[in-house]
Structure 1
Amino acid sequence: MSPYATTYLCAGVAFATSAVKIRHAFQVPPGPEAAGKRALRLTIAVVAALAGLVMGLSAPPVVVWINRVSGVANLTALIVHMGIIALAASAQVLFLLWSADISDSWPRVRRRLWVLAAIGIALVALFALSDVPVERPVDYESYYARQPVVAVYSGLYLIAYGAAQFGVISLGLNWSRSHHVAGRPWLRRGLRIVAAGSAGGLGFSVARFTAMAGQWFGLDFDAVALPLSLAFGQVGLLAFVVGLLLPPFGPPLATIPGRIRVYFWELRAYRLLRPLWNALRPVNPEAVQPLAHKERFSVRWRVIRQVMEIYDWLATLRPHHDPEVARDAERAGRAAGLTGAALDDLVLACQIKVLVATRPWLTSPAAALADPPAVAAGATEAVYVTEVSQLARLAVAYGSPLVESVAREHLRRAVTSPDPV
């Protein structure tokens, strides 16, 4: 595996996020706030794309490839330097759009865009005037620190990047404490993580500037400053992207553990209900409807269908309940220490066991079905859980040795008792 696989993966996630946000931007329904929402989503897309660009171009193999293909030594350095400044500036624009109406924040946004454009033009001009024939993908600033034009270029981009990151820190922390984020914990967390990531970017600027300034005075800080700057930059950029993704994706991701627990609970319920469902199916096989295509891969739908069909079959059996079976089951249950719902489940399970064996519905008119269970009518989650839990307890009771014993004894007596004259 490539040592830069994580870098490429993070860049891919950032580009994918940008594509999703662009699609969301053009799906904003018409309305008075449509322009603001569209601008906000497009800004998020730009920030994510710039983050992906910077992360992707930070891998030395990519740097070497672009420089070789373009034929311009250190061209990737110019692209990355402009990209990180644009990333920090676009994050400030995003915060401004988040914190106020677009008409109120646009003047401040416009000023930042003009400053960004001026810095970009200056960097391109300085790079064109510089003489940097040796490719330096890691230590560009310190290696060329003694060249005046490159020193001005590096100083400009490092100061601009540091100032932009300081602005992101200030905006992020101030807004995370404002009333705008009241009741929005994921946004507050995201803002603080973005601020922490920007602090890493600020550390990158300080470390790189220190390495460059050391060369001016004959001091070599590269052994410490360069690894430190890389650590600050990579961790800070990753935290920056995570913080931006947290507000939109944090809430659904937070539900994943709960959804996993529900899935396994439903899977267990499905398996518990299956023997009871199989035992009751002969009561009315026509009640079993084929699953629709979308239902085949949903455990919840299968459980719902099981519950509905079991309740239908229980309603058909209800007129055939035998009081003698109920007495025997209750007596055995009390002897075993059962009370309340557990005793009721045992009695009903014994009735089912006996009736499934004797099949009285074949010789008697079918009873009218009771009202469908609440789970069939799109009830609340609490009602759904209650319905499934009740039948799951009944299914467990149905498979107990005590039910088997009571039913066997009753069926034996029914077989050996003489027919009435």
Structure 2
Amino acid sequence: MIPIVLLCVAFLVHLPVRQKWQVPVIRSGYAVLLIGALTLFHAQPAVIKEVNALTGIANFSAPLVYALNTAFSGACLALVINWRGGEPDWLHRVWLRCLSLYSICAVAVAILFALGNAPVERTTDFDSYYATTPYIRELILLYLAAHSVAMITMLWLCATWQREVHGMLRAGLLMIVVGAIFDIAGFQAPKYASVVARWRHHDLDYLSTSVAPVGVSIAAILVAVGFILPRVSGQWEALAAYRDLGRLRAVLRGVDIPVQPAPGWWWLPTNRLTLREANIHDALLRLNPHFGPHVRDQAHADALAAGLPPGDADAVADAAVVVQALHDYTADLPPTNESGHHQLHATQGDAGALAALSRALPRPAADATGHPSLATRSQP
């Protein structure tokens, strides 16, 4: 059950908002996680018995599980295609071919099962028991071959990609690579070996009934963790960035900006960070006419003279400009930057520059209305 739970957790952690669901690579990733969990769930002996009993057809679970496995393989290839990237039209054509090919394979699994004869229920050794049965034999080889192509391709892509990235994304890709290796060596190889042994009138059924389930479970755990790691890491980084911008957002709360929807309790840190950044940029845009170049120049010079590094000096200078602009805005003083020529360094850089500006601001104190405001003007 652990692999199933982890795959479901990975799916929920990655659960996208509606807009992101339109991105092909995101759809493919969720299809891999969801179909993988369904496949492992229906492959459990207890579930196999229940499905067979409910349908009244001996071994009905076999084509169901193999069709799900084929769909999982197709989802893996779709993920590979979208990860690889390229021209949108080319990607769409290749994706359609992949979808068509694996859909045909899934239908072929059902047809071969209907044509074959498998009257004896086998919950753990269906592959080896019916390895020599006409049509069922082809069914087994078809789903194994489709799965092998998908896993080998996914292994190659992730192994190549992980050399180009860093951090938790690379760690996640490495986990997926190791998971694919476990799938090939611990699941596919034992399955092929047990089937071939039956062809040669030998009994290696334990490879299929004892070794393969362990191999595929380990592979599923590793792949699920590989998908979870980058996402959880990204959310943690977004939460840290959200907190870093808290002081700047509190200072700017009295600036009139367009009304934004309040974040729901279910919002992920990345969504909360996006909303906070939008509010901050709207407020800074409203304060822009009051940005004084002379304020920044003086504050920057004083910071450098005090021995601060250039980056910290930029943040201190931006903080002085924001404090002065907020004071002038609140006092309804005439603008000094009507042309908008003067801009903050923080708004021209990355998100880290905005966080540095936030940390350089003095702590806001509650005013008479209970809203945060600057207790004193910044002294560079």
Q: TM-score range by the shorter chain?
A: 0.5 to 0.7
TM-score when scaled to structure 1?
Answer: 0.53
In the alignment, is residue 108 of structure 1 matched against residue 104 of structure 2? no
- Tell me how far apart the structure 2 counterparts of residues 254 and 220 of structure 1 sit (CA, whole Å): 53
Rounded to whole Å, the distance in 2 between the matches of 1:156 and 1:240 is: 23
Taking a change above 3 Å as real, the CA distance of residues 384 and 252 of structure 1, as seen in their structure-2 partners, is farther
Q: Give 1:104 shift.
A: 4.0
Cα 1:199/1:89, change in 2 over 3 Å: farther
What do the CA deviations read for 1:143-173 (whole angstroms, capped 9, x no partner)?
1112122111111111221121111111111
Q: Is 1:136 aligned to 2:136, yes or no? A: no
| Residues 17 and 48 in structure 1, CA contact (< 8 A), matched pair in contact too | no
Checking the alignment, whether the CA contact within 8 Å between 1:40 and 1:97 is kept in structure 2 is: yes
Q: Structure 1 residues 255 and 38 mapped into 2: Cα distance closer, same or farther (>3 Å)?
A: closer
Quote how far apart the aligned CAs of 1:379 are: 8.0
Which residue number corresponds to residue 157 of structure 1? Answer: 143
Matches within 5 A, 1:207-356: 207-252=190-235
1:3-42 Cα deviation digits (max 9, x unpaired):
x4x3553354255357x23xx2x134xxxxxx9x522222
Post-superposition CA distance 1:82-107 (Å, at most 9, x none): 22222232122123213315434222
Structure 1 residues 212 and 254, CA gap change in structure 2 (3 angstroms): farther
Contact preservation (8 Å) 1:161, 1:202: no
Q: Distance in 2 between matches of 1:137 and 1:250?
A: 40
* The structure with more helix, counted as a fraction of residues: 1
Q: CA RMSD in A?
A: 3.1
- For structure 2, which runs of at least 5 residues remain unmatched after alignment? 242-355, 364-380
* Alignment check: 8 A CA contact 1:46 1:90 kept: yes
1:73 equivalent among 42, 49, 58: 58
Cα distance in 2, alignment partners of residues 43 and 83 from structure 1: 15
Number of the residue aligned with 2:183: 201
The one-letter amino acid of 1:90's match is A
Query: Which residue in 2 is equivalent to 1:175?
Result: 161
Q: Distance in 2 between matches of 1:191 and 1:111?
A: 26
Q: Matched residues, percent identical?
A: 23
Counterpart pick for 1:16 among 12, 23, 26: 12
1:384 positional shift? 8.8
Q: Which residue of 1 aligns with 2:248?
A: none
Correspondence 1:52 to 2:58: no
Is the Cα contact below 8 Å between 1:85 and 1:164 reproduced in 2? no
1:267 aligns to what? none
Distance 1:382 1:63, change over 3 A: farther
Matched residue, 1:126: 112
SS of 1:148's partner is: coil
User: Aligned partners of 1:61, 1:53: CA distance in 2, in Å?
Assistant: 14
TM-score (norm 2): 0.58
Report the Cα distance in structure 1 between the residues aligned to 2:180 and 2:41, rounded to whole angstroms: 18
| Runs of at least 5 residues in structure 1 that lack an aligned partner in the other structure | 29-34, 260-377, 386-421
Alpha-carbon distance between aligned partners in 2 of 1:8 and 1:197, rounded to the nearest angstrom: 15
**What is the CA distance between 1:221 and its match in structure 2?**
0.9
Aligned counterpart, 1:89: 74
Q: Which of 2, 19, 27 matches 1:42? A: 27
Deviation of residue 177 (structure 1)?
2.5
Query: Is the partner of 2:144 in helix, strand or coil?
Result: helix
Do 1:15 and 1:52's aligned partners in 2 also have CA atoms closer than 8 Å?
Answer: no
Which one has a bigger Cα radius of gyration?
A: 1
Bigger shift: residues 162-171 or 191-200? 191-200
**Against the structure 1 CA distance between its residues 63 and 242, is the aligned structure 2 distance closer, same or farther, given a 3 Å change threshold?**
same
Structure 1 contact 214–221 (Cα < 8 Å) conserved:
yes
C-alpha offsets along residues 230-272 of structure 1, whole Å, 9 cap, x if unaligned?
111111122122222222223335899x99xxxxxxxxxxxxx
Change (3 A) 1:226 1:233: same
- The offset of 1:139, in angstroms, is 0.8
Q: Is the contact made by 1:63 and 1:76 (CA closer than 8 Å) also made in structure 2?
A: yes
Number of equivalenced pairs: 250
